[in-house]
Amino acid sequence: MRLALGISYNGQAYQGWQSQLSGLTVQDKLEKALGQFAVQRISTVCAGRTDAGVHGLMQVVHFDTEIERDEFSWIRGTNRFLPHDIAVQWARPVPDAFHCRASALSRRYAYVVLESPVRPSIDSGRTGWVYRPLDEAAMREAAAILMGEHDFTSFRASACQALSPVKTMKRIDISRRGAYWRFDFEANAFLHHMIRNIMGCLLQIGQGMQPPGWMAQVLAARDRDAAAPTFSPDGLYFLGPVYAPEWGLPDRTAAYDGLP
């Protein structure tokens, strides 16, 4: 039987998603908990790897198992062995043809940024921070340049393992609530550090350090050195993949309601 799980986590305490020898990753904690519940080793595949410090509102994983339990048992049983900052939100049996990464039509991220002369405290690690005022119109103009299919090499980390730098940006929404800005991104796929590097550029433009048209120059350069420094992972949330309705999987979790 193939099972899909929706996972939420606070990434502050972890060295990213992907398993490492240290054992201090979200995948390591999840697979350990699944193994304790199922009393057998379980290996998972995820929809999208996240960096150290990045949070997940609906990471999706799948795995194959001969263990038969109802959906609620997989949720409650696994959560019993997980640390307090990681939780299984839902479980669904899926056909063998389903693959959490290959079946995804797109992936979604959100960046939350505090605009304030004073750094974050209570929400430290859960929001990015700028102390200069941001120009929404300038950032929107720059974001529009990135829409559609492009070679995003200028926003790609040197360690990126993607086979191609060409991706399709489907949506960039910018909104504000009080002192908090929210940037929503949706693309067919993302390169390593792609969003963090785009954010670095958007925030330079928003603070008046570069004109909106500079984004086109960075994109055309196809050179990482042309872009702004990589922005902090603080405030970056993986909202999860988007699947075709026929798979019958949730498209959000309760954690969405707590995000500014």
Helix (H, G, I), strand (E, B) or coil at 82: coil
Question: Is residue 60 classed as helix, strand or coil in its secondary structure?
Answer: strand
Q: Do residues 170 and 105 make contact, with C-beta atoms less than 8 angstroms apart?
A: no
- Is residue 167 within 8 Å of residue 190, measured between CB atoms? yes
Neighbours of 83 (CB within 10 A): 14
Q: Which residue, 145, 118, 153, is CA-closest to 215?
A: 145
DSSP string, 208-247: TSS-TTHHHHHHHHT-GGGSPPPPPSTTEEEEEEE--GGG
Active site residue 64: no
Helix, strand, or coil (residue 36): helix
Catalytic residue among 28, 51, 225, 257: 51
Catalytic positions? 51
